[in-house]
Amino acid sequence: MSRKKSRFGLITLLSLTATTVLADSTTSLNDTMALIPAGSFLMGSNDLDTSTRAKEYGFIKPLYLDEHPQREVILDEYYIDRYEVTNQQYKEFVILNNKTVPQTWRDNGYLLVREILDIANDEVLRRLADERFKLDMNTQTASRESLLDVIEQQQRSQDNLPVTGVTWEDAASYCKWRGKRLPSEAEWEKAARGTEGYEYPWGNEWHQEYANSGEGEGWESGVAPVGHYIKGQSPYGIFDMAGNVMEWTADWYQPYPGNEYQSKDYGKIFKVIRGGGWGGVGHYAINHFNRTSYRFYLRPESAFPDLGLRCVKEVSRETSSPSLSLPPSIHPAAT
């Protein structure tokens, strides 16, 4: 792309981010995947809300009832992403396939890369530095190169954050593009709780410091870099299955076999999401929403800043083990 300065307005620059294919887009990055062995696990719960918290706090559904009854479920082996899909990984999908830019990126300017910003005149660049990137510096006196350097550094710091603001259709399309698919509810839950039926990915006791649930350390954009919470891994070594971002599954919100709870929301209306998120709704409920059996649901067209995804891949005799390359800045010895 030419680096010649033009007097493009702010709206023109923003529209370019949705359609421009960048020559220096990131190389293909394979997620690390964990193999979930074939066999049974306990899905759902038989818990009851004896405290009437759901009614007291105005929740949209009773606690626990749509998780009934707990039952044994048998699955074939499969692979699942150890990490939530990152901005950097999803950026490649958006650029190479001319896909819709997540609203979160429109808000924070993630796709306004240096090659595009360098087209802007000084007035527009400084306005973007203030209003879009919210730089903590005097943007009116800083040099043009200094502004571009700081913006570029800020964008790179977002590469390893989980992508958010993605609809169900776009999440499913991303996984398909990677040769994968969205997990079923059962696949997600087994990967999260293991064969011992853990209440949380790490065990049966809640530890706020094990997850980005909104009550521990704060993060500038809400979300934490994928893989940050080492102690929050599931029994299969999978990160962030409690907190950080909620995750789309493939399934419609339907009653489990033998479930007696009646809900007008059952049917092919809402897709199930799992895993809790960083937002939370108060200290009284954070641990409940991060339970491995907790079911939430949204319309497929929904997109929120605490909603993301991870993918699964079927195991076949013709399929070799997935690449074990890690997302940027993720290493087994990280703390």
**Local confidence pLDDT in tens for the 335 residues of the chain:** 343 444 444 444 444 544 443 433 333 334 589 999 999 999 999 999 877 766 766 677 888 999 999 999 999 999 999 999 999 999 999 999 999 999 999 888 898 888 888 888 888 888 888 888 888 888 888 888 888 878 787 788 899 999 999 999 999 999 999 999 999 999 999 999 999 999 999 999 999 999 998 765 678 888 999 999 999 999 999 999 999 999 999 999 999 999 999 999 999 999 999 998 887 554 456 788 899 999 999 999 999 999 999 999 999 865 445 544 344 444 333 33
Q: Are residues 149 and 168 in the same domain?
A: no
> Which pLDDT score is estimated for 215?
66
Amino acid at site 143: S
Q: Do residues 224 and 294 share a domain?
A: yes
Q: Which domain holds residue 205?
A: 33-86+162-314
* Within-domain flag for 271: yes
| Domain match, 215 and 272 both | yes
At which of 156, 183, 205 does a domain end?
Answer: 156
The pair of structure tokens assigned to 318 is 């013709």
Single-letter residue type at 263: S
Q: How many domains in the chain?
A: 2
Q: State pTM to two decimals.
A: 0.83
In a domain, 234, yes or no: yes
Q: Which two tokens stand for residue 240?
A: 């962030």
CA distance 17 to 149: 19
